[in-house]
Every structure is written in structure tokens, then in C-alpha cells.
Structure 1
Amino acid sequence: MSQPSAFASPVAPSPSEQAPSTVPRIALVGVHGFGERHLANVARLQATGVLDLVAIADPHPPRDGALGSSVAVFETLDDLLAAGTAPDVVILATPIQTHVPLAKAALAAGADVYVEKPPAASLSQFQELLAAAESAGRLVQVGFQSLGSAGLPAVGEIIANGEIGDVLGLSATGTWLRTRAYFQRSRWAGKRSLDGTDVVDGVATNALAHAVVTGLSIAGAHRLEDVAAVDTDLYHAHPTESDDTSVIRVRTAGGRVLACALTLCAAEQTLPSVTVFGMAGKAEFFYTADELVVTTADGERREVFGRTDLLENLLDARSSGAELLSPLAGSGAFMAVLEAIRTAPAPSQIDARYVTWEGSGDDAHPVVHGIAELISRAALAQATFSELAVPWARPLQPAVHFTVAGRAVASYQDGSRIRPSSSPRPYLHPVRTLAGTVVTDHQPADHVWHLGVGVALQDVNGINFWGGRTYTRDAGEYVWRPDHGTVVRTSSTTASAEDPCPDGQDPDGDSSLSEELCWKGPDGVAVLREQRNWTWAAVDPRTWRLTLDFTLAPAGGVPVSLGSPGSNGRPQGGYGGFFWRLPACAGARVWSPAGSGEAALHGSVSRWLAWSGTFDGEPATLVFTAPEDCRDPWFVRVAGYPGVGQSLAWDEPVLLHPGESVHRSITVLVSDALLGTADIGSLIGALERRS
């Protein structure tokens, strides 16, 4: 038995600060499920003499002989407390919806509390528990075990010392699988509420909650006030109420963005991780293994760290005043995420066409098609499934739908949801053939800053309006810089050939969208003004045409240089201006009057350039046509990724003085057929006669 110090202060410390005179008496509430781990951990620590398990409470106690004869067994915590057991610490490993009432009862009885995650099923309950703990003067540790890892301060040091450069963003990813049996283990599993009581079970709030809280911790978000906003995009493939496949995006008060891309419907389970993306590298922390992988230009290094047990930390805090590693108040940021999920619309069921069930009986589990790649893409782009236009996700509402013959052929997005380092800007995606085949891609994993169809330039007076890394002459390579601009719409008008009263419709029946856009630098100062016009119409039963006209002019009283990697010294890298990013294409054929294939066409000048192949099994041809006097070289990529553009500044910048402007125009024919050169000649001839 310990004795009081001869140098003790005459002022009595609070109960949570006072060194106990006996070995702490522990009560465990809930001994099944995760409670079994707590039972084993308590037994380990009891063997070292640092605690004494005096009681457990569970309607279904362990089998005979599993507990020592000195451990009292009760059906409920109320029974345990009423019996005068007087535990010093109560561990709660019970259903989510019971955490707060049980914790409040334990605090009122004078005990410190270790409560499993999540600590509460709503923000209001969390605040009740905070108040109860403060009133009782007791400690509450939350069971986010990953917060005990010595790897977390190591990641913080890497960020602070600039080893990976300025932080671009963070992601938390987890691809797990859970069977039918997992959701049949209890009445509350897979529920958002039960008998009118909040539960908020789900991939982010329970199964992979550690991914979320670890990401928040690394992002510097601990308390409730550390979170500025939370976006949710929730789905499920299991027949449950709760989400099992979701993206949650958190913006911290400190300006960082954490994208949590998580699923319980993967083909195989992998180690979850939190990644910090920096301008000079990245740091990926596999929190279940306490392993850190740092990748920079100098190579890769790995380190494995130790972990402090949270119960031991709680006992240390009781005896020595050590700081809790996972204090209740430090779960405030996580509770902001849980509250956003709780109040969000109910998760959407993933269409069965995109799900395959594997296994049988209780071992059966759903696999969402391509989910591992989608999780990776969402993390890289810091985008939701809706923003990625995943076919089973909720459609992202565009500013305008382009329709031809009553069919939606393109969706205009204003770009406001794009991450800052991808240079947010308006674009078209998805663009479809008349038969519905998608012929654009956006935010692909290889270049998440590629955005469907639009206008982008990598160097406008040193500002990157293309996204991603910047090629500089000084570096002689691509480097990350905080130089990304934003293009915002300031006004627009539309005219539809299919409207009952199409004011502004031209005599040929074109539909149109006219926009005024402002190109702003990272400081928010306008650099360029743009007038952009889209027009679209049917050509024949299998083909429609899209025309883009845009005019760029300086926004202020100083000259503006329009450049590219090519004009900054990168050979054959003169992309910038109009750009069309295609999706994966089988059997791609690219040709023009100048030749065929990427090598022959890249950097060539011709009246038209065609791309044909099969997209997701369906044939299509795109014909890019330029005005007869256009001398801009074609930018063509086939092998590395599929894309076509016209280069505004191939190897020399275009300098615009105040009052000057540059104008470009391109028309694209979108066909459901695999066209030949003769077909293309006929289509272009018909367009010329029409004009």
C-alpha cells in the first residue's frame, strides 16, 4: 500500500489528481465483442499488480472459470454500483447508444471512465457527458487506441520541419470487408437509430472510426472548435441503415482539408492509413501497424513505433497527473464528423449492378466494383464519390445540362468543389454520345487536376491555372508550388433550341451557354477576363457537335503572359488552352491529314484530328476541328493517358497588353460510330455548307 508523501501540499488535490492509496479497482461493463479485448488487457495488467478487477456487468456473463473468484458479476452497471462495489475506474465496452448514460452513472458514483468509441451518439449527448465529467471532476478516456501511438508525434514533427514541404492535403483511407454476420451480431449493428434512440453506426463512426480520428489528429483537429466544415457522401451495399462506403471531407479551422474515403465492401482487407501529401513528398501512417512511410526525392524510409496502452495511460493520469492521450474533450472534432453523418440524409443504396456478393451464408459479403481504385482516387482528389461522377453515386447537380434531341449529352460543372491545388475552374463532365457513352474523364488518379472539357493554362504571369505541379525553366522539371489560380463565373446566359420559347436561339437551332469568367490568382486578384461561349446541336441521328469559343484579355492595366511548360523549356510540352480528357479507351486510333499515332500528331498542325475506339465496350469517334487559319499545334496523348488539346503557347508565350485579347474556337463532333476519313470529310463538308 502506498503512503502519502511527506512533502504533500496542505491543499487537498481533486479526486482525479490524487494518488490512490490502493491499487485502482476496475469494473468492466460489457465483456463480449470488443469487451473481450478489454478483459484480456485487464488480466494482463492485473498480473503486473497495477490494477484489480473487482466486478463486471453484462446480461450474459463469461463462462464459468473465465473470471477469478473475487470478481463480482452483475447484470447491469446500476446493479454493480448499487451493491457498493465502488470502482475507481469503469470501462465501458457497450453499444454506442448506451455510452453516455452509463458514463454519467459511473461519473456520478465517483469513478473515472474509459469509454469505447464513439463516446456518444450525438453532439448534444457528447456535450452532456463533457459537462458531467467537469462537474464530477473525473477523467474520461475515449478508446481511440491509435492516439496512443508514438508515430503521431513523429508525423507532426515531419510536417513541422518541412521534410515533405508545405501540406497540400490529407487523406484517411480504409478498404475493409465485413460479412453478413458482422451486422447480425447485435440489434444495433448497422443502425442509424434503434427504438427512437440515436446509434449512428457506420464505416466512419465505428468500424473505421480510428482512420477518421487519426486523420483529424494529424490535421491538428482535436476539439469541436477545430472543425470548420464537414461534407458527407454516404452509401451502403449491405442491407443496412448505416453507411458502409463513404467519403467524409473535413475542413479544419486551421485551413487543412482531410478526405476520409472508407469502405467495408472491398474484395480484400488492407491496412488503413492516413497520408499527408506535401509539396516535397508524402508521409503515410499505417496506424494499425504503427508504421510510418516517408517518401521524398531522397527516397523512402520506414519506421515502426511503439504504442502506449490507453488504460495504462488513464491509470498513469490518475496517479501522476500525466496527460490523457485520448481525452473526452479531444474527441470533439470526431464528434463534429459524427454529428454531420447523423444529420445527413440517409445513406443511398448502391445499385446492385455495381455490387458482387462473394461467399455464402453468414460469411457472404458485398464487393463494390472497382472500390479500391475509387477510394484511392477520392483520396488523391479530395473529392466525394458524387464529385467523381461514380455511376452509383448521387448525381452532382450541374449548373447546366446540355441536351440534344431530348438526351443529356453534357453536364456543366462550375468547379467550385475542386481542391485548390487542382486549380478550380468550370468544365464539362460527363460528356456523352447520343447513345449515352461517356467520352470524358475528370479527376482521374493519374492526373486528378484533369477536368473533362474546358480551358486551362499552366502559366499566366507565373500562376498555374492548369492544376498540379508547375514546370519551371529554373528547376527544369515539374515542382509543387503554392501558385494555383481559380477561374470563377461572373455571369452567364443560356438559350436552348429545345425550350418552348427559346429566347436568343439562333436560326439554325443551336443551344448555347455564354459565360463571363474571371481568372484569379492565389491572392484573389483578377488576372484575366474571359468570354466563353458553348454551342451544341444535332448533326445526324448518331452525331452531335459541340463548339467552344473563348476570348482572353488582361483584367487590369498590366501585360499578361500566357505560357505553358513548352514555353518554359519543356520539349514537346506545350499544352494549354482547350483540353479534352478522355476516359480509358480500348483500340484507340488517332489520325489526321498529317498522319496517325501520337508520335506523328503531337505538335502537328491540321484542320482536324480524330480519335476513335471503344469506351466501356461501346464504339465512339471524336473529331476535333479547327478554323482553317488556326496554326495552334495539336497536343496528343495516347500511351500515358488519353487526351487531346490545342496549344495556345506551344513553345513561346503569348503576350497580351491591356486592351488586347486572344480568341480561339474549336468544334468537336461526337459520334456513336467508328468513323473513317471519308465519313469525317462528309461531316466537315456538311458543317461548312451549313455555316
Structure 2
Amino acid sequence: MSHAIAIVGLGKIARDQHLPTLAASDRLHLAGIVSGHARDEGAPVAATITELKRQVPELAAVSLCTPPMARTALIKEALALGLDVMVEKPPAASVSVAERYAGMAREAGRALYLTWHSREASGVEPAAQWLSGKTLRRVSVAWKEDVRVWHPGQEWIWEPGIGVFDPGVNALSILTRLVPGTELHGATLKYPADREAPIMADLTMAHGDTAIEAAFSFDQRGPQTWSMTLETDEGTAELREGGGRLFVDDAEVAVPEGTEYGRLYARFADMIGTGAIDADLSPFRLVADAFMLGRHERVGAFRWDD
């Protein structure tokens, strides 16, 4: 059985990841798009979810790919129409808002999936299995990319509370999968002189006696860096390329085939029609803690065309 699903919001992430993944799926198919600026995508286009549901009565679910600041109304609309809901990360503009979503879905009796796509990278579950039974001593994270490449001209990324934590929360989603219960102890957040969100962040965390450090940047030129090193009493594992590759003591380990978004949508296909809720907010809470505990520094002004 193939479920009819709609994409809500047709920006870069939807075009780069969501549309190709749905095109390759045998369990879900693109039944429509909700967007004010969609081109011909081979599916009905509507301005609202309600309008699309009228056009496509068999619509079963929506995947929200809009910026996170205005999703509550969209989730409420979708649930009222009897639709299951999948949400691109970060789930909302604040933790308190995101915490409402599970209750809304539960009351409506519909499935809700707040996704963390980096958790589905091919090396993450093998890394979790490798860590089992070992004593973790130290974790270091380097998550550095160029906002100009991944969010070209998207000013919403500089709204308060977003910035470098848009990619940084990907690293935190892997970290909280591998080291649940991680606590943030301190942070330094660096803000461009002309922006309201940080472009760099250094985090100090811990889990018991395990020291955890993370360095995030949204201003990385040249090769991009998404790595996590986990030192244990029985060797060292390193996740590279956003968790897609796993190395143990510098030797690469075979990992499952498939893509992050392929696994996300497979999981959502399992949830449709069941009323299941997957709404873990532990990575998002670490982001909120960073803003609460972080020291603020100002750096040079940001320019898209630098």
C-alpha cells in the first residue's frame, strides 16, 4: 500500500531531499504540494492544506518543510483534517512550542513524527552498537559548514534562536542518541555584528565523567566538516560526513546502505494510520540550554556575497 502524502513548503531542503526520496519510495507517493511559489512538480499545488485536501481526498499525511517559526497553525490545520504529520528539524522556534505538538496529535488521534534526519545517517546505529558495554571517556564534535551554500539568501536563518544551531542541532541529535542524558555546562555564542543569531558556537557538555565538547560554525569555507569522535576504554570511533561513515581506530567499518531521508520516510510510513508519536526533543533542549547559559560575543558583520 502506498500512502498519499503532501509536502508543505517547497524550499531547498524539500527539493534536495524530500521530493527525490518520495519519488523513490514504494510506500509513499507525492499527492500534492502546499506552497505559494511551487513550479510544475507533477502534483497538485494548493495555497493551504485544507485546499489541497479538497483536491486530493485520499491525502493521508503531510510533511512540513517550512521554516520552523510558524508551524503550529499548520500542524493544527493538518490534524483537524485527519492527517498524520511529519516535521522537518528543527521542529519549532522554541522548546515550549514544540512541546505542545505531541499533545495536539494525541488529542486528534493522529501520528506525529518530529524528525532528526542526522540520527538516520548510516553510521549512527553501528556506532551505538559499538559503544555498548564500553566506558566512554571523551567526545569531541566539529560541525562546520557554510550557510551561503546550504541556505543561500534565506534570511529566516538569522532570526533569533536559529543561526548556527540549524546545522548544530544535527550533531546534537546524534549525540543524544549515542550519549543520552548529556548535560550542557557552558557555551560561547558568537554573533555577527549585524545579525540576531549566532554564526559560531562552542559548547561544553558532560555525561557523568565523560567530557563532551562541540565546535559549530556557519562560516566554514572550502571543505565542510561534520565529525564526531568518541574515545573509550577500548578504542576510538569516529563518525565522519555527518554520520554517514564510521571509523574504529582509523579503520572504516561497513555500514548499512540507504539514505537518511529514506529511513525517515520509511519510519513515517510505519506510523501512518497508527496514532504513533515520535517527538523526542532532547537535542532541542540542549540548544535552549546553550542560549540560557552561553556567553555572547560579537564578531564581524555577515555578508551573503563574501
Global fold match (TM > 0.5): yes
**Structure with a larger share of its residues in helix:** 2
- 1:40 paired residue number: 20
Q: Which letter maps to 1:203?
A: V
**Counterparts of 2:36 and 2:272, CA distance in 1:** 30
Aligned equivalent of 2:251, options 301, 305, 310? 301
- 1:201 paired residue number: 162
- How big is the shift at 1:304? 4.0
- How big is the shift at 1:273? 1.2
- How big is the shift at 1:185? 2.3
Show structure 2 runs of 5+ residues with no match.
Answer: none
What per-residue deviation string (whole Å, max 9, x for no partner) do you get for residues 58-99 of structure 1?
11111xxx322xx32111334334667452110100011123
Which piece of structure 1 moves more, 268-277 or 29-38?
268-277
- 2:112 paired residue number: 140
**Counterparts of 2:185 and 2:72, CA distance in 1:** 24
- How big is the shift at 1:261? 1.1
User: 1:76-91 residue pairs with structure 2 within 5 A?
Assistant: 76-81=48-53, 85=57, 87-91=59-63
- How big is the shift at 1:160? 1.8
Aligned equivalent of 1:314, options 240, 255, 268? 268
Do 2:89 and 2:114's aligned partners in 1 also have CA atoms closer than 8 Å?
Answer: yes
**Counterparts of 2:209 and 2:295, CA distance in 1:** 28
Do 1:97 and 1:120's aligned partners in 2 also have CA atoms closer than 8 Å?
Answer: yes
State yes or no: 1:349 paired with 2:298: yes
State yes or no: 1:363 paired with 2:305: yes
- 2:178 paired residue number: 218
Q: Return closer, same or farther for 1:169/1:180 CA change in 2, 3 Å cut-off.
A: closer
Do 1:272 and 1:286's aligned partners in 2 also have CA atoms closer than 8 Å?
Answer: yes
**Counterparts of 2:177 and 2:47, CA distance in 1:** 37
- How big is the shift at 1:302? 0.7
Do 2:6 and 2:31's aligned partners in 1 also have CA atoms closer than 8 Å?
Answer: yes
**Counterparts of 1:183 and 1:238, CA distance in 2:** 19
User: 1:554-633 residue pairs with structure 2 within 5 A?
Assistant: none
- How big is the shift at 1:229? 4.3
- 1:110 paired residue number: 82
- 1:197 paired residue number: none
State yes or no: 1:190 paired with 2:167: no
Aligned equivalent of 1:123, options 95, 100, 110? 95
Greater relative contact order (Cα 8 A, min sep 6): structure 1 or 2?
A: 2
**Counterparts of 1:362 and 1:302, CA distance in 2:** 37
Q: Return closer, same or farther for 1:257/1:82 CA change in 2, 3 Å cut-off.
A: farther
- How big is the shift at 1:344? 5.4
**Counterparts of 1:34 and 1:234, CA distance in 2:** 26
Do 2:4 and 2:60's aligned partners in 1 also have CA atoms closer than 8 Å?
Answer: yes
**Counterparts of 1:255 and 1:86, CA distance in 2:** 53
**Counterparts of 2:79 and 2:184, CA distance in 1:** 32
**Counterparts of 2:209 and 2:111, CA distance in 1:** 31
Q: Which letter maps to 2:145?
A: W
Q: Which letter maps to 1:250?
A: M
Q: Say which SS state the counterpart of residue 214 (structure 2) adopts.
A: strand
**Counterparts of 1:242 and 1:249, CA distance in 2:** 19
Do 2:143 and 2:167's aligned partners in 1 also have CA atoms closer than 8 Å?
Answer: no
Q: Return closer, same or farther for 1:345/1:218 CA change in 2, 3 Å cut-off.
A: closer
- 1:426 paired residue number: none
Aligned equivalent of 2:217, options 263, 266, 271? 263
State yes or no: 1:52 paired with 2:52: no
Do 1:237 and 1:265's aligned partners in 2 also have CA atoms closer than 8 Å?
Answer: no
Do 2:152 and 2:304's aligned partners in 1 also have CA atoms closer than 8 Å?
Answer: no
State yes or no: 1:178 paired with 2:155: no
- Number of aligned positions between the proteins: 300
Q: Say which SS state the counterpart of residue 172 (structure 1) adopts.
A: strand
Q: Return closer, same or farther for 1:104/1:246 CA change in 2, 3 Å cut-off.
A: same
- TM-score, structure 2 as length reference: 0.85
Q: Which has the larger radius of gyration?
A: 1
- 1:157 paired residue number: 129
Q: Say which SS state the counterpart of residue 287 (structure 2) adopts.
A: helix
**Counterparts of 2:8 and 2:103, CA distance in 1:** 22
**Counterparts of 1:256 and 1:87, CA distance in 2:** 47
Q: Return closer, same or farther for 1:346/1:137 CA change in 2, 3 Å cut-off.
A: farther
Q: Identity over aligned residues, as a percent?
A: 20
**Counterparts of 1:180 and 1:311, CA distance in 2:** 25
